[in-house]
Structure 1
Amino acid sequence: MRFGVGTGSFRAPVRYGLRAALLATVLVIPQAGADTLQDALVKTYQSNPQLLAERANLRATDEEVSQAIAQWRPRISINADYAKIHSESKTDGLPRSLARTEPWSADVTATQTVFAGGRILAQRRQADASVSAGRARLRSTEQSVFLDTISSYMNVVRDESVLKLNEANVGLLKKQLEAAQARFDVGEITRTDVAQAEARLAAGLASETSSQAALKASRLAFERSVGEAPGTLDTKPPVPALPETEVQAREIANVQNPALVGARAQEDAARYGIDFAVGQMLPTVTVQASYGRSGQERGPAETIGDDTRLLATAIVPLYQGGAEWSAVRQAKEINNRARLSVEDARRATDEGVQNAWEAYRAARSSSEANRQQVKAAEIAFEGVQQEQEVGSRTTLDVLNQQQELLNARVALVRTERDEVVASYSLLSAVGKLTAQDLELPVQVYDPVENYDMQTWRPFGGATYEK
């Protein structure tokens, strides 16, 4: 063991340089003007194609109500025809006979369904239930794309921090290798110590490369969700307000979880499907009124006639080969399946809330434990460096403790990411991860607006896009 002025002349500067560099990697200060998580969610809400496509899908579902309502309205048609007929006849011994006639006709017919066995009402109610299910799907899609954005946002924050830690670690390892080489040159340590420093540097470079690739993938995922590449991100987004207890979370989910809400709406639609099937076996009564005019020109003469009709028709199905009864049985089984799907959705929702609650608790506890681990690792690293100064610790001891400190800091970065994502996952599980619930500064899409505009619209092909 060697001590002296020569030894301390390069040990102390290296030691304090390493300490300063390590501290610099810990202080991650959010920059002014950084993009916040709220900014990312706003951009997602306004431009995410998956969300916009689901809105269009809901607007298409709204048209099912309009089509059902149309069955109550009269059907009006106009028919017209016109012809020119040239005929020629010849009888033996008589001159050839030529004739030209121009018959024409036009009529307008209006047909009104008076009674359809309740099928039209059932179809309207079934369409309304489908709209409710579609709104639940839209809410589910909104939550899904928001959670994707939050995850990709926090992944970028995490991977940028991990990359900075690995880059700083590589810089420290390079300095340690230089110090080890200098000490080897004066005979204080062996070639083995230098090789250990070289091996640890190679491992650090490999970790740096891996973290660069991970960051690239996270940035691409962010760009896909948000629509643009991430800039400088706020590294400490706030955790949202959450239910106070697990019981409260489960109660909220029972009312608001979109998967459960959608399953209940599908059950309603299936129940009205039974009414529609039964209506196929009931009478149908229609009333038809028509007015027509026809004429025919034959040479200089023209004949014109008017025709006015009022017709009531009743169709009573007696036997259709058993198909109508099969349709009723089928509708009942579809309703039975939908009813069981509600129970399955309820159980899945309850399980999802409990898992999300436990995941958030675990992530929060892990973050606190990792903060304590980082503090302890920093103290240990400082102590090992001091002990190396007096020769009671080897180069490998310092390298190992430095790796422990790096691992602790990386673990803290990861658990802080997990804590934020888990909090929003819990919101998603209860059904409150929406623009309205998060109070985002956007004009919230209102599906009722299109429904009210289009369902009673009797004509016109313009669509409402927003």
Structure 2
Amino acid sequence: MLASWILVLASPAALQAAPQLTLDQAIAEAEAQAPAIESAEADRDAAAARTTQARAAGRPSATLTGTIGRGRLDPGGFFGLQAADVTPRAAQATFEQPLFTGGRVGAATARALAGERMAEAAGGRVRADLAARVAQAYGAVLVEQERQRLYAALVMTTTELVRHATDRFDVGDAPRTDLNQAKVRQADARAQLANAQGAILVARARLANLVGRDPGTLAPLPAPPAVPGDLSAAILRAEQASPTIAQAQAGLDAALAAKRGAGAERLPTVGAFAEAATVRDQFFPGYRGDSATIGLRARWQFLDGGRVRGQLAEADAGVRAARAALAAARDQTQEAVIAAHAAVTTSALIEQAAGDQRAAAEEAVRNVRDEVKVGQKPQIDLLDAEREATAAGVLVLSARADRVTAAYQLNALLGGH
């Protein structure tokens, strides 16, 4: 499928005819078809089902069992009964209600609920990470398209300068060095243009893979999403809402619940029951029996050969591991928040500086062009000024794309996008 997309991407007419795709739309389309999100949603549904199962262990249950067969009984004359063909059958209905489980049901339910929170946090992290990836791919396409546009213009400019240098060289008004330098700049511009054209295909293919279709024409980059301006505020928000930390905290809660459940295995269980049964032809021809019973049923395993002790040791190790994972998650998240916040701040400063650089470079091109016309500067200076202006133009959009991507990456760490 990617091959067909690439063929479409190579068609400028197709790009012009397609409606513009915004970044928000690209993120929504990526979320709608991403296998990672589908997998996360399946994990969440499975976790919810495990909670239902855990709660069911403390609720009443009813079972109905029955048997029927065909055979022959020979009482051997006992009670004067002779051999006869019989159809033995039995049915029993049982109703049970746990009254005391020693904390087993509560611990299992708490562990399952923690698993739900883990799945929910994992799903949130997948969505936020996907949004950041789409923003990065979206920005990369726009940057490469701008680079292609600027270098295409530079190729045209250098081609004209080569023609001008050739004319001057032919009439003896310029040295061969000027002509050779002009051709070098022209070749460099053509190489940069070819590089940009190839990079566009790669960038668009990456975005197409994320959104599940040819992205068509893209709308300009929007303003980056709002993020905390203060680093300490960003770290505090991450502590409260980071999916990574929430998942690790839920893992610790699950481990603590597992430890409580292991301890509950030392305690007895008590439940109420009611049974009704009917039996026919079970022991001798013509036999029938009906019964009904209500009562309490208790079970206590007071000697288990060390099984519960082993479960407790395993659960305690799981708690220690979960605490260490939570501490690591907090440290890693704080480090990532610092890096992402710095990237947001730095890219904003770079964008501002790049804008100033582009304005100065464009002014320099105009000035050098006038000076070359009157012979105050050689043509090579104009070529260099054009190249610097083109690079500055690419840098502006690249810095803007970096700022948008960094903001989405920071928001992914903070629990949203």
Scaled by the length of structure 1, what TM-score is found?
0.79
Distance 1:32 1:114 in 2: 66
Distance 2:71 2:29 in 1: 69
Q: Once the 2 structures are TM-superposed, how far is the Cα of residue 297 of structure 1 from its aligned partner?
A: 9.5
SS in 2 for 1:209: helix
SS in 1 for 2:88: strand
SS in 1 for 2:87: strand
Q: Once the 2 structures are TM-superposed, how far is the Cα of residue 288 of structure 1 from its aligned partner?
A: 3.7
Distance 1:335 1:211 in 2: 53
**Alignment of 1:318 onto 2:302:** yes
CA contact (8 A) 2:165 2:179 kept: yes
Distance 2:31 2:87 in 1: 65
Q: Percent identity?
A: 27
Distance 1:371 1:56 in 2: 46
Cα 1:116–1:386, aligned 2, differ >3 Å: closer, same or farther? same
After the TM superposition, which residues 386-465 of structure 1 pair with which residues of structure 2 at under 5 Å, given as runs? 386-433=370-417
- The match for 1:167 is 152
Which amino acid in the other structure matches residue 61 of structure 1? A
Distance 1:244 1:199 in 2: 46
2:168 to 183, 206, 212: 183
Q: Once the 2 structures are TM-superposed, how far is the Cα of residue 285 of structure 1 from its aligned partner?
A: 2.3
Distance 2:84 2:49 in 1: 54
**Alignment of 1:229 onto 2:214:** yes
Which amino acid in the other structure matches residue 55 of structure 2? I
Distance 2:278 2:230 in 1: 77
SS in 2 for 1:302: coil
CA contact (8 A) 1:100 1:298 kept: no
1:155 to 140, 161, 184: 140
- The match for 2:64 is 78
- The match for 1:66 is 52
Distance 1:120 1:364 in 2: 54
Q: Once the 2 structures are TM-superposed, how far is the Cα of residue 33 of structure 1 from its aligned partner?
A: 6.7
Cα 1:292–1:235, aligned 2, differ >3 Å: closer, same or farther? same
Cα 1:159–1:320, aligned 2, differ >3 Å: closer, same or farther? same
SS in 2 for 1:313: strand
Q: Once the 2 structures are TM-superposed, how far is the Cα of residue 112 of structure 1 from its aligned partner?
A: 3.2
- The match for 1:22 is none
- The match for 1:197 is 182
After the TM superposition, which residues 155-304 of structure 1 pair with which residues of structure 2 at under 5 Å, given as runs? 155-296=140-281, 302-304=286-288
After the TM superposition, which residues 331-342 of structure 1 pair with which residues of structure 2 at under 5 Å, given as runs? 331-342=315-326
Q: 384-393 vs 339-348, which deviates more?
A: 384-393
CA contact (8 A) 1:41 1:149 kept: yes
Which amino acid in the other structure matches residue 330 of structure 1? E
Q: Once the 2 structures are TM-superposed, how far is the Cα of residue 298 of structure 1 from its aligned partner?
A: 11
Q: 37-46 vs 409-418, which deviates more?
A: 37-46
2:90 to 93, 100, 105: 105
Distance 2:42 2:203 in 1: 29
Which amino acid in the other structure matches residue 402 of structure 2? D
Which amino acid in the other structure matches residue 232 of structure 2? V
Q: 365-374 vs 109-118, which deviates more?
A: 109-118
Q: 346-355 vs 97-106, which deviates more?
A: 97-106
Deviations 1:327-355 (A, max 9, x none): 11221121122122222222222222222
Distance 2:94 2:408 in 1: 60
**Unpaired segments of 5 or more residues in structure 2?**
1-16, 75-81
- The match for 2:34 is 48
CA contact (8 A) 2:129 2:409 kept: no
- The match for 2:360 is 376
SS in 2 for 1:100: strand
- The match for 1:459 is none
- The match for 1:21 is none
Distance 1:367 1:85 in 2: 92
Distance 2:72 2:290 in 1: 25
Q: Once the 2 structures are TM-superposed, how far is the Cα of residue 259 of structure 1 from its aligned partner?
A: 1.0
**Unpaired segments of 5 or more residues in structure 1?**
1-30, 89-96, 434-466
Distance 1:326 1:298 in 2: 46
Q: 108-117 vs 349-358, which deviates more?
A: 108-117
Q: Once the 2 structures are TM-superposed, how far is the Cα of residue 405 of structure 1 from its aligned partner?
A: 1.7
Cα 1:65–1:82, aligned 2, differ >3 Å: closer, same or farther? same
Which amino acid in the other structure matches residue 101 of structure 2? A
Q: Once the 2 structures are TM-superposed, how far is the Cα of residue 325 of structure 1 from its aligned partner?
A: 0.7
Q: Once the 2 structures are TM-superposed, how far is the Cα of residue 142 of structure 1 from its aligned partner?
A: 1.3
Aligned residues: 396
Deviations 1:178-223 (A, max 9, x none): 2222222222223333232223222222211211121112112212
- Name the Cα RMSD after superposition: 2.6
Which amino acid in the other structure matches residue 303 of structure 2? Y
Which amino acid in the other structure matches residue 320 of structure 1? D
Deviations 1:64-85 (A, max 9, x none): 1100011012332222222222
- The match for 1:130 is 115
Distance 1:177 1:115 in 2: 93
- The match for 1:116 is 101
- The match for 2:369 is 385
Cα 1:296–1:319, aligned 2, differ >3 Å: closer, same or farther? closer
Q: 58-67 vs 220-229, which deviates more?
A: 220-229
Distance 2:169 2:384 in 1: 19
Cα 1:50–1:62, aligned 2, differ >3 Å: closer, same or farther? same
Which amino acid in the other structure matches residue 53 of structure 2? Q
- The match for 2:77 is none
Which amino acid in the other structure matches residue 262 of structure 1? Q
CA contact (8 A) 1:180 1:189 kept: yes
